[in-house]
A and B are shown apart, each in its own frame.
Chain A
Amino acid sequence: MMEILPNVTINHYLMLSVALFTIGAFGILFRRNAIIMFMCVELMLNAVNLTLVAFSKLWGGTDAQVFVFFIMVVAAAEVAVGLAILMMLYRNMHTTSTDVLDKLKW
């Protein structure tokens, strides 16, 4: 059986990742505050990381954990640039609500 912990299979971890990923995607659709939407993206990235570590535990290799490192690097870079963009938006538009920031809507 595909147990990675006693009485915990790989499917348990996949279910947990699905739950976290879905909550993140739902948050992006549900909220209008750009900062909260940004945090939801972080949550989705972490759900994927959890899947990678679970499979690394299942197969016993280091490759998946190295991938997790690179995902963390990309997340950190994304947060730095994204928050700078949000700062600039707030300075010019005085809001971070995507109800107001709809210039790119068709």
Chain B
Amino acid sequence: MLTEYAFWFLSFLAVFSALTMVVTKNPVYSVLSLILTFFAIAGHYFLMNAQFLAAVHIIVYAGAIMVLFLYVIMMLNLNKFEDEKKSLFMNSLSVIAGCILGFVLLAVVKRTDELTIVAKASSAEVGLVENLGNALYKDYLLPFEMASVLFLAAMVGAVYLSKKEMV
């Protein structure tokens, strides 16, 4: 019963703050409400017994990525209202396109009702560090190493791009 209430609370929190992120004019408020969304999603991970993933999610997203966003917004001094001049036509077009996309995806989800899936009984220990570490360092060792190379390339690219002498 409690987990059900927690699910609904976290879902409404996530959707509401995501909408706030899109609609609000001030970029700093956008970043803060996106952080709220990420915390709600981390709560969902906790509910689904993915404890380690929830911790990593908070550390990486709220702790690193969104701080980077905030940093860039404050460095570029974008925290004032920037008037986006848009026509009513483009606005309504984007609303219609978003509604159609949501409709199609919802229809796809509805269709999955007709499948008969036999779920296995999942243990509560799947999301613990031990099991995830075993999977990550045994079965997925090569992708793991390739991810580190990708990180190195991204770091070199970021440093090179943000040098002062670039034209």
Contact = CB atoms under 8 A, between A and B. Distances in A.
Interface string A48-87: 0110011011111111011011101111111111011111
Interface residues of B, number: 84
A5 to B, nearest CB: 5
Main secondary structure of the interface of A (DSSP, over half): helix
B161 A88 contact: yes
Given A22-B105, A50-B41, A65-B132, A60 B157 contact: no
B34 A32 contact: no
B155 A80 contact: yes
A65 B50 contact: yes
A18 B32 CA distance: 22
A90 B101 contact: no
A23 B37 CA distance: 12
Interface range on chain A: under 10, 10 to 19, 20 to 34, or 35 or more? 35 or more
Interface of A: 2, 4-8, 11-16, 18-27, 29-33, 35-36, 38-40, 42-43, 46, 49-50, 53-54, 56-63, 65-66, 68-70, 72-81, 83-88, 90-92, 96-97, 99
16 contacts: A4-B48, A5-B3, A8-B7, A11-B113, A22-B101, A26-B98, A29-B98, A32-B86, A46-B38, A46-B61, A56-B48, A66-B135, A68-B53, A69-B56, A73-B151, A81-B161
Given A36-B21, A58-B117, A96-B76, 11 more contacts: A4-B122, A6-B1, A16-B44, A20-B37, A26-B101, A30-B95, A40-B22, A65-B127, A76-B64, A83-B72, A84-B159
